[in-house]
Amino acid sequence: MDIDIEDILAELDRDTTAVDESLPSHDEIPSESNTTSHTLLNNSLETGLNNDKNGKRITTTVATDNNLRIVSPELSFKQLMTCWRNERCAPELLPFPHELMKRMMSRIQEQMEYIENISMGFLENDHTHYSDHSPQDRNKLATDDDPVATRMNSNHDSKLPLLCMEAEIERVKFVIRSFIRCRLSKIDKFSLYLRQLKEDDTNIISLDEILSREELEYHERHFLISLKLLNDSVLKYMPTELQAINDTEGSVNMIEEPDWNKFVFIHVVGPPDGNLEKDSSLTTNEFNKYCYSVTIPELKEDVELTINSIYVMRYEVIRDLLKAGKVELI
């Protein structure tokens, strides 16, 4: 019976998503909880993806406890935060979130243009006092590139929404910048290892999936530059059999691999869609709590990872769970 009601509710929700969505996205900026700025902000953030969202709504909706899973700006920002945290803590270079980053970049672009349009409205100093708070209308206005419409959208003298929008975009940009810089430092570190991955045909994941296009180029060129420096300054004086910089036969392996057994803090979040019953790797323990069971190979020890708890664990052990989004690094 419950399931039926939820289905009906989900159906109802589907019709009114445009209104509902502005509610959860309040989490997006925890520090600033000004509602007026939020309605403006969220809607403007959504505009960029409105068309995209309509297309995806059918394919990506999964009805779980009344919430519809839609690629909303708020969700993709949350995904970005997770990616960022995982990247900062993981010893290896994680696969690049291609789709997510494409979404985020286009959204930043659009939001910046939007802010610019609004501030033009401030400059021209003729505000039509147009107090309209219904999101649908505002969306319509924001998607419109007509400068008159955007000017009308900046409907009062208050600069607070503009301030918040700028602060918000700075926040997002900071996260992306830090994320990419972290990845670049890992690319520097594992340059030889990544190269070995590329040359090795047997390997499962290709380099294009791990790196973005820009990172591939960076990796390639940075590798060549440092190779040239090493070659010209030192290696050309060495005997030919010692000139390789990726020698694995010598007494010390020259290729630095990620420290697979690094201890990391993990938070077990459970399956990403929140549906505990469907996840086949989940088991229940004697306290009737859901948990994942993993084995530490060196110690031959089984460990139960209970959902919503925090562990210090070897990275290799939880690697698959991390890739599936069932645990997060902290």
Partner 1 sequence: MGYYDIDDILADSVEIPCKFQHDIPGLGYLENNPGKPISKNAKLDLPIWLARILAIVGGDANPDTMEDEEPLPFVELLTPDMFSPKVINAIKADPASLDLHAINSYFYSLATKWITLFNDKQLAEVVHNLLLERSQIINKYAGSVPVDLFHSSTDIGSGKKTGHSSHGGNSSMVRVSNSTFLLTLDEFEKKIYKKSHESYKDTKRWMFEK
Contacts with partner 1 by CB under 8 A lie at 251-256
Nearer to partner 1 by Cβ, of 40 and 192: the residue is 192
Show the tokens assigned to 62. 């999964």
Q: Under DSSP, is residue 67 helix (H, G, I), strand (E, B) or coil? A: strand
Angle at alpha carbon of residue 206, lines to 80 and 85, rounded to 5°: 20
* DSSP track, 269-314: ---TT--TTT-TTEEE-TTS-EEEEEEETTTTEEEEEETT-EEEEE
- CB of 259 vs partner 1, minimal distance in Å: 9
Residue closest to 25 by CA, chosen among 47, 57, 52: 47
Distance CA 270, CA 291 (A): 8
Nearer to partner 1 by Cβ, of 235 and 255: the residue is 255
The Cα-based distances of 216 to 28, 223, 245, 321 in angstroms read 31, 11, 20, 26
Show the tokens assigned to 36. 């007026």
Show the tokens assigned to 173. 């940009």
- CB of 308 vs partner 1, minimal distance in Å: 25
- CB of 252 vs partner 1, minimal distance in Å: 5
Nearer to partner 1 by Cβ, of 114 and 193: the residue is 193
- CB of 188 vs partner 1, minimal distance in Å: 11
Nearer to partner 1 by Cβ, of 257 and 320: the residue is 257
- CB of 165 vs partner 1, minimal distance in Å: 25
Nearer to partner 1 by Cβ, of 38 and 186: the residue is 186
